Amino acid sequence: MELPKSTAYGRIIAKDKLYEHGGANDDLQKTVARQIGRVRWANIIAARTMNLAQDLPTGQSDEGITEIELIEIELRVPFTELDRRILPLIVKAVPYSLLFKLIRGDNVDYALIYGGKVYQNNVPPRIIGNGINTVWDNIVRQIAGFPLNDTPLNDIIDDTERHNKLTKQIESLERKARSERQPRRKLEYAEEVKKLKELLTNG
């Protein structure tokens, strides 16, 4: 991820500070010590460190965020095996909008938490936009794989969750239909699948 030198911060975050400010119990502390190495506050993306305005979030009247922090974490396990409590712990301990750079050998992943959900991508996001809230919005979109358009981010997330829910319902019904022996019940399943697919197609 290409960031100007003016954003460099480069402070190591002591794990005991994460435990203290994030509220980690003994079990989580042991898991953190086992699964991750050094945690470094690498960069601060803000109006004072880059040529960015303090814009307003789309569709909101409050000032939104003022900073984005790039947090580098050395992983001792693959990202897929990382305990799901660790990133929320760091978000709680460092109360800003956080973009994580997760490093394990030659492998680098980028992740963030938005709306309580973790999104991950191995492609570094680009800085897109002239205001800090626009930049964060577009970072979320890139990490989550959402389109870079004018549709509000929360609307995209709602539509995605609805799409995923319908897809799972369809897959479940199709599995039931394949294992069903009664022709009448098979037909009922097929009708239900047809209706759900129409919803999926027509929104």
Per-residue confidence band for 153, with pLDDT thresholds at 50, 70 and 90: confident
Region 77-82: what's the mean pLDDT? 95
pLDDT band at 36 (very low <50, low <70, confident <90, very high): very high
Structure tokens at 139: 């970072």
**pLDDT higher at 147 or 56:** 147
Could you tell me the two tokens for 47? 């109006």
2-6: Cβ within 8 A, 24+ apart: 2/124, 3/43, 3/45, 3/70, 3/127, 4/49, 4/50, 6/49, 6/50
- The domain segmentation of the chain, as residue ranges, is 5-148, 156-202
Q: Characterize the bridge pairing of strands 97-104 and 67-75.
A: parallel
Q: In which band, very low, low, confident or very high, does the pLDDT at 79 lie, cut at 50, 70 and 90?
A: very high
**Within 10 A of 119 (CB to CB), how many other CB atoms are there?**
19
Output the pLDDT for position 63.
64
Q: How far is CA 88 from CA 24, 39, 47, 114, in A?
A: 11, 14, 25, 11
User: Between the CA of residue 160 and those of 60, 146, 200, 203, what are the distances in Å?
Assistant: 21, 9, 11, 11
Res. 13 pLDDT band, cuts 50 70 90? very high
Using pLDDT thresholds of 50, 70 and 90, give the confidence band for residue 58: low
Contact in structure between 37 and 105 (CB atoms under 8 Å): no
**Percent with pLDDT over 90 in the chain:** 62
pLDDT tens for residues 17-29?
999 999 999 999 9
What is the pTM assigned to this prediction?
0.80
